[in-house]
Amino acid sequence: MTMQQTPASNSLVHSWLAEPLPPDVERALDRLARTEDVVRIAVMPDVHLSGDVCICTVVATRQLIYPEAVGGDIGCGMAAIRFEGDAAALADEMTAARILAGLYDAVPTLRHPRGTARSALPPALADSPLSHEALEKLKGRDGRFELGTLGRGNHFVELQSDEAGALWLMVHSGSRAMGQAIRECHLRHAIRTSTGLHALDAEAPAGQAYLADLEWACAYAHESRGAIVEAVAGVVTHVTCCSVDRSSRIACHHNHVRRETHDGEPLWVHRKGAVPAAEGEPGIVPGSMGSPSFHTSGRGLPEALSSSSHGAGRAMSRAEAFQTIRASDLRRQMRGVWFDQRLADRLRDEAPSAYKDIGSVMRAQRDLTRIVRQLQPLLCFKGV
Active site residues: 310
Q: Which helix (H) or strand (E) holds 258?
A: strand 255-262
State the DSSP string of 40-53.
EEEEEEEEE--TTS
What is the rounded CA–CA span in Å between residue 130 and residue 109? 25
- Phi/psi region, residue 196 (left: phi>0; alpha: psi -120 to 50; beta: rest), is left
Termini Cα distance of the chain: 36
- Phi/psi region, residue 75 (left: phi>0; alpha: psi -120 to 50; beta: rest), is left
CB 296 within 8 A of CB 370: yes
Alpha helices by DSSP H, the chain = 23-33, 93-106, 123-126, 133-138, 144-146, 176-187, 205-240, 318-324, 327-333, 358-364
Task: Tell me phi and psi for residue 76, to 5 degrees.
Answer: -55, 140
Task: Tell me phi and psi for residue 175, to 5 degrees.
Answer: -95, 10
Task: Tell me phi and psi for residue 325, to 5 degrees.
Answer: -105, 130
375 CB-near residues (< 8 Å, 6+ apart): 160, 161, 162, 168, 170, 292, 293, 294, 295
DSSP bridge partners of 167: 161
Alpha helices by DSSP H, 268-355 = 318-324, 327-333
Q: Residue 139 corresponds to which amino acid?
A: K
